[in-house]
Structure formats: C-alpha cells, structure tokens
A and B are shown apart, each in its own frame.
Chain A
Amino acid sequence: MVKAYLDANILLAKAAGKEKEPDQFQLAENIFNQIKNNEFYAVISSLTLMEVMAVLRTQKGREIANLKGLTREKQVEYVLRESKAMYDCIVGELLQLPYLKFDLGGKTDMKKLFDAAFDIMQNTKGKVRFYDKCKRCGSQNVSYSAHKSLGSDDIIHALFAKDVGCDLFLTFDGDFNELIGNEKIEPLEIKVIRQ
C-alpha cells in the first residue's frame, strides 16, 4: 500500500474547516477521504506535530483584540492555553484515525539526512516575487519584493519522509515543486495539491 507523508498545512486546513480555510479545506478533505477509503495510509511525524503546535501559537499570538488589555505574562499565558486547547483537539482526533502512522524516525541517520539537506539547499534557486499589498494586513499601499524558496525545514521534511519509506509527500505548498525530480529525494514522489 502507498505510504503518504502529510505536510502540516494539510492537517491544519482540515482542522480549520471550510469557513476559516476556504482555499484549502476541500483539498484536505479529499486527501482524508482517500485515507478513509484505504487508498493509502498517512504518516505524521513528530516534526509535523511540532509545527502544528507552533502554527497554533502563532495564530493565537495574532489575536490582537484579545491580547491588548492583558499584562505581558497573561498574554503569553493566553497564547499557550488557547493554542494548547486547539492542539489537544486535533491530536485527540488524529489518535483515533485509522490508517495513520505516527513516525518518529527512530532509525533515521540524522548526519546523513542533514548532509543531503545541505547539498539540496545549496542547489535550490527559488524565485523573486513582487507584491503590491501586505499579505497580513491587506494594505494596498505597499510594494515590496522577496526571494521565495524552499526552507531548510521543507527539505528536512522531504528527506525524512523518504527515509521512513514513504512513497508520496503531500503538501499544498508550491515551493516543494522545486524538489520534484531531485535525485536525493527520489524515489519519493512530491505531490503539490492544487485547486
């Protein structure tokens, strides 16, 4: 059976739901339906769960309206408590999903993995993109450019997926396209899911 590594963005889109994540929710739903129908089984790593936790903290840290009136200590307390509540909900359900394996990569040779990641990173090119509005606040009177490419964590995820014997790496993140056909990643197949 095909073994598919799920990127954190897929988990989060599914948990966020249609209302909050209209762009990616249905795609995540389709992937989980495939898992449910036993078309493949999913792998979730501890690294992915760490990212889920970090994302939820980041998300809570952006709730300016709820944080403003609190002391600094209480702000941190709020972010940790609220994000933990969300994280617990997600993990509680993940633990009950059939056809899902939690993989810690106990036999992964980290030295080799980082060595390969280093080689890949040196050869990635990425793209320069131009923006005319702020992605975060939506302000239109902004113009900036940025170099976008794979991050070290992205590469480590893919190499880890390969090392634990996954056939597929599923993600919504288009930057992973840069890894398709990379000889250090193959035979792992990178699949960027798009609408």
Chain B
Amino acid sequence: MTQFISLFQAAIMFGSVIMFGALGEILTERSGNLNLGVPGIMYLGGIAGLIGSFFYEASTTSPSPVVGMLIALVCAFGMAALGGLIFSFLTISLRANQNVTGLTLTIFGGGVANFFGGSLNKLAGGVGQISVAATSSAFRTATPLAGMGTAGKLFFSYGFLAYAAIVIAVFLHYFMSRSRKGLNLRAVGENPGTADAAGINVTRNKYLATCMGAGVSGLGGLYYVMDYTKGTWANDGGIESLGWLAVALVIFATWKPLNAIWGSYLFGLLFWMYFYIPGLNRSSQELFKMLPYIVTLVVLVAVSLRNKKENQPPASLGLPYFREER
C-alpha cells in the first residue's frame, strides 16, 4: 500500500510538470504555431523563478515564503512568455521555419538556464548547491486536508501548483470550446485565411496564444525546480527530457486540455513504474522509461487510423500565414 501511495504521488508530481508544459503547448498549437521550444521555455521559466527567489532570499535576513513564491511565479511566467515572444517574432513576423526556430529555442533555453544555474550554484558557495528553502517551502506546502489518511495522502498532499495545473486545464477547456475568443483562436489554427476573412486578427491571436502558452509551459519548469527538485538546481538535463514528454503529451491528449490532465498522470505512472517493479537493473529500467513514448506512438497510430476529424492536429499547424497568398 505504501508502495502504491508513493508511486501515485510520484506520478502526480511528475505529471504536473509535464501538464503545465503540455497545456501551454496546446494553447500555442491551437493557434497554428508548432513551438518545439517547450523544453527550452520550461528551462527559462525554471531558472528565472529560481534566480528571482534566490536574490530575494539573499537580500533579506528572514525571507517571506509568500513573497518569494510570488516573485518566482512572476519571473517564471514572464521569462517564459518572453521566450514565446522570441518564437512569435521569428515565426509570425519574420516567417521563419517553426520547427527550426523551436528546436533552436530549446537549445537556447537549456544553455541559458544551465549557465545561470551553474553560476548560481557557484554563487551559493558552500557545497556548491543553491537552495531557496523558504520559497520552495511555499510551493511545497500541502493542503490542510493532507492529514486525512490514505485519501489525504493520495489527493491532498501536493503543493498548490499541482492543483493550479488542473484549474488551468479546465479553464482552457472552457475557453476553447465555449467562448467566442476561443472559437476565434481555434479558427486561426485551423484555417487562418478564413479567420482573416471573418475579421479576426490572425497575427494578434497567434502572438497572444504563443506567449501565454509559453508562460504556462514555463510554470512547468518552475514546478520542477521548486517542488519536484525542492528548490535546487542541477545541470542534468532533467527539464529537457520532461519538456519532450510534454510535447508528446500534447499529441497524446489530441490537443484537448482535459485529456492532458489524466494523460499527464498516466505518463507519470508509466515513467516511475520501473522504480516499483522488483528485479530491474540499470539497463532494463530504461526500457520502462520508454513507456510514455511508446504509448504516445500507439495513440498517434490509433488516432490516425480512426481518422476522426476532431482528433486531428489543427489543420494549419506549423504553417506560416501570408495574407497575400490567397
């Protein structure tokens, strides 16, 4: 039982990281922009939040966890959105290739984050490991219901960002399926020419969706740094591998935010399963870590075979839009 609880908890925490990444990317891709820079953007969000809270904690003798948390949130969201802005400017205004730009952004984000993360570790001195204990504790505070036996451990023992991810998913679902602005946004991603003719500002929609989406993805990086690794930094490429899983999750969820909720937890479950299966050695573990990707492949094949229109990617995903090319 304890084994099951700890697997479940690991799955939720792992899942929350990639859920943020995927939700942001769903918003972005719904506008027709394929931003493969998700890992880089999560890196940017994570490192910006860490830097913000580190300097805040270093500047006062008794840092307030709540202030540190707010600073980290604003820094993470803002920096990630800035990453989205770079992507938007290059692909929407300059019409650069989205795949290349996205991959470049991933490399860029990883480089920036590891450079500053390494520097912070050096600045922190001591054992060479930065720690923002106060801020991280704010992120990790469990809900008051956590004490309620097994159910409390299973469902109420997480930091607030894990719940925020679900709230964002539900909000995005309602936004995209029930609001006029959401309808317009989807029209831009499906058929920008039609959207343009209907008087929708294609460029503005794409910019907004991409920057906001990047901001949301960036929160995934922050959650990773503050909660998953408890307010520390390691130049181990952890965020990058989770970032790619977030991209896979977008496909798995067939571009629907609600699917991303259970999909992310499933991915977490599959990813951590190896830890709880006895008799695995270092090499056979890696086979199990492939499971989320294999499941994504299977879903992709199944969805393509069924060929249901609603489950297909946005029709103009990855394509630049020129008004003159009617």
The answer to whether A and B assemble together is no
- B-binding residues in A (CB < 8 A): none
B residues in contact (CB < 8 Å) with A: none
